[in-house]
Structure 1
Amino acid sequence: MESFHFKVNLKGMIDLLSNHLYSTPHVYLRELVQNAADAITARKKLDPEHAGRIGVELYESGPRPTLFIEDNGIGLTEEEVHRFLSQIGHTSKQGTDEEDFIGRFGVGLLSCFIVSDEIVLLTRSAKGGDAVEWRGRPDGSYTLRRLESEMAPGTRIYLQAKEGFERWFEPERVKSHIRRYAECLPVPIVFYGEREERLNADKAPWEMSASDALVWAREKLDLAALDVIPLSSSVGEAKGVAFVLPHPVAVSARKTHRVYVKRMLLSERSEKVLPDWAFFVTAVLNVNKLRPTASREEFYEDALLDLTRAELGACIKRYLVNLASTRPKLLKEIIRIHYMSIKMLSLEDDELFRLFIDWLPFETSFGMLTMGELRRREPMVLYTTTVDEFRQIARVAKAQSICVVNGGYVHDAELVQKLGKVFPEIQVRRLDPAELTNRFSQLDERERAVTEDFLDLAGRMLRPFACVPEIRKFAPPELSALYITGEEAQFLRAAEQTREEANELFSSLIGQVTGQNGDKSLGRLCFNFANPVVRKAILTRDLDLRKAAVAMLYVQALLLGHHPLRKQEMDLLNHGIIHLLDRGLELGGNRDEPDHR
Structure 2
Amino acid sequence: MQQEESNYRFQVNLQGMIELLSGHLYSSPRVYLRELLQNGTDAIRARIQHDPDYEGQISIEVFSSGDGHHTLIFEDDGIGLSEAEVHTFLAIIGESSKRRAEMRDSDFIGRFGIGLLSCFVVSDEIVLITRSIHSDVAIEWRGKPDGTYLLRRLEGEFSPGTRIYLRSKLGFEEYFERSTVRDLCRQYGGMLPFPISLSDGMKSEIINAVKPPWLLPDWQHTAAPEAVLEHGRQLFGENFIDYIPLRSEIGDVSGIAFILPHRASIAAKTQHQVYLKGMLLSEHVENILPDWAFFVKCMINTNDLMPTASREEFYEDAKLAQVRESLGNCLRDYLVYLAEHDLPRLHKLIAIHFLSIKALAVQDDQLYRLFIKWLPFETSQGRLTMEQILELNTEIRFTSSLDEFRQISRVTAAQSMCVINGGYVFDTELILRLPQFFPQYEIVRINPLDITESFEELTIAELQSALAFLRTADLVLQPFGCKAEIKKYLPLELPALYSTSEEATFMRSVERTQEQTNPLFASILESLSQAFGMQTPHGQLCFNYHNPVIAKLVRSDNTALQGKAVEMIYVQALLMGHHPLNQQEMRLLNNGLLHLIELGMR
Same fold by TM-score greater than 0.5? yes
CA spacing shift, 1:62–1:125, aligned 2, 3 Å? farther
Deviates more, 1:251-260 or 1:424-433: 424-433
Q: Which residue of 2 aligns with 1:8?
A: 11
Matched, 1:181 2:200: no
Deviations 1:92-142 (A, max 9, x none): 211210111111222211211222222222222334523332222223333
Q: 1:219 Cα shift?
A: 1.8
Q: Which residue of 2 aligns with 1:277?
A: 292
User: Matches of 2:503 and 2:77 in 1, distance apart?
Assistant: 80
Q: Which residue of 2 aligns with 1:387?
A: 406
Q: 1:333 Cα shift?
A: 4.7
Q: 1:195 Cα shift?
A: 2.9
Pairing partner for 2:542 from 488, 501, 523: 523
CA spacing shift, 1:366–1:6, aligned 2, 3 Å? same
Q: Which residue of 2 aligns with 1:246?
A: 261
Q: Which residue of 2 aligns with 1:44?
A: 48
Q: 1:373 Cα shift?
A: 3.5
Matched, 1:213 2:228: yes
Number of residue equivalences? 522
Q: Which residue of 1 aligns with 2:500?
A: 487
Q: Which residue of 2 aligns with 1:362?
A: 377
User: Matches of 1:269 and 1:370 in 2, distance apart?
Assistant: 35
Q: Which residue of 2 aligns with 1:55?
A: 59
Q: Which residue of 2 aligns with 1:300?
A: 315
Pairing partner for 2:390 from 344, 368, 375: 375
CA spacing shift, 1:171–1:564, aligned 2, 3 Å? closer
Q: How does 1:76-475 map to 2 (within 5 A)?
A: 76-94=81-99, 95=101, 96-193=103-200, 194-204=202-212, 206-207=214-215, 209=223, 210-337=225-352, 354=368, 357-364=372-379, 366-375=381-390, 377-384=392-399, 385-396=404-415, 398=416, 403-407=418-422, 410-411=424-425, 414-415=428-429, 417-420=431-434, 425=439, 427-431=442-446, 457=465, 464-465=472-473
Deviations 1:383-429 (A, max 9, x none): 34423323212232x3xxx544344x545873465335875835311
Deviates more, 1:144-153 or 1:452-461: 452-461
User: Matches of 1:107 and 1:255 in 2, distance apart?
Assistant: 30
User: Rg bigger for which structure?
Assistant: 1
Deviations 1:423-447 (A, max 9, x none): 58353113578888999999xxxxx
Q: Which residue of 1 aligns with 2:477?
A: none
Secondary structure of 1:224's counterpart equals: coil
Secondary structure of 2:229's counterpart equals: helix
CA spacing shift, 1:351–1:91, aligned 2, 3 Å? farther
Deviates more, 1:260-269 or 1:197-206: 197-206
CA spacing shift, 1:301–1:251, aligned 2, 3 Å? same
Deviates more, 1:224-233 or 1:51-60: 224-233
Paired amino acid for 1:382: R
Paired amino acid for 1:152: S
Deviations 1:18-47 (A, max 9, x none): 534322212111111111111111222222
TM-score between the two structures when normalised by the length of structure 1: 0.72
CA spacing shift, 1:376–1:74, aligned 2, 3 Å? farther
User: Matches of 1:116 and 1:367 in 2, distance apart?
Assistant: 65
Secondary structure of 1:132's counterpart equals: strand
User: Matches of 1:199 and 1:392 in 2, distance apart?
Assistant: 66
Secondary structure of 2:433's counterpart equals: helix
Deviations 1:276-312 (A, max 9, x none): 2222222221111111111111111211111111212
Pairing partner for 1:25 from 29, 44, 56: 29
User: Matches of 2:162 and 2:452 in 1, distance apart?
Assistant: 89
1:249·1:338 contact (CA, 8 Å) conserved in 2?
Answer: yes
Q: Which residue of 2 aligns with 1:582?
A: none
Q: Which runs of 5+ in 2 are unaligned?
A: 475-483, 516-533, 577-584, 597-602
User: Matches of 1:184 and 1:228 in 2, distance apart?
Assistant: 19
User: Matches of 1:386 and 1:54 in 2, distance apart?
Assistant: 64
User: Matches of 1:15 and 1:440 in 2, distance apart?
Assistant: 76
Matched, 1:69 2:74: yes
User: Matches of 1:383 and 1:75 in 2, distance apart?
Assistant: 70
User: Matches of 1:349 and 1:75 in 2, distance apart?
Assistant: 52
Q: Which residue of 1 aligns with 2:480?
A: none
Secondary structure of 2:444's counterpart equals: strand
Secondary structure of 1:386's counterpart equals: helix
Deviates more, 1:149-158 or 1:179-188: 149-158
2:408·2:451 contact (CA, 8 Å) conserved in 1?
Answer: no
Q: 1:61 Cα shift?
A: 4.8
User: Matches of 2:240 and 2:78 in 1, distance apart?
Assistant: 39
Deviations 1:167-199 (A, max 9, x none): 221111111111111011111111124232111
2:432·2:443 contact (CA, 8 Å) conserved in 1?
Answer: no
2:456·2:487 contact (CA, 8 Å) conserved in 1?
Answer: no
Q: 1:338 Cα shift?
A: 5.0
% same residue: 41
User: Matches of 2:465 and 2:319 in 1, distance apart?
Assistant: 77
TM-score between the two structures when normalised by the length of structure 2: 0.72
Q: Which runs of 5+ in 1 are unaligned?
A: 443-447, 503-512, 538-543, 576-597
CA spacing shift, 1:338–1:481, aligned 2, 3 Å? closer
User: Matches of 1:128 and 1:313 in 2, distance apart?
Assistant: 49
2:73·2:164 contact (CA, 8 Å) conserved in 1?
Answer: yes
Paired amino acid for 1:430: R
Secondary structure of 1:319's counterpart equals: helix
CA spacing shift, 1:423–1:464, aligned 2, 3 Å? farther
Deviations 1:201-259 (A, max 9, x none): 43236436443232123223222223222222211111112222334444333432211
Deviates more, 1:385-394 or 1:349-358: 349-358
User: Matches of 1:307 and 1:490 in 2, distance apart?
Assistant: 43
Paired amino acid for 2:198: F
Paired amino acid for 1:188: P
Paired amino acid for 1:80: E
2:307·2:315 contact (CA, 8 Å) conserved in 1?
Answer: yes
Deviates more, 1:181-190 or 1:135-144: 135-144
Paired amino acid for 1:216: H
CA spacing shift, 1:29–1:468, aligned 2, 3 Å? closer
User: Matches of 1:440 and 1:60 in 2, distance apart?
Assistant: 86
CA spacing shift, 1:130–1:342, aligned 2, 3 Å? same
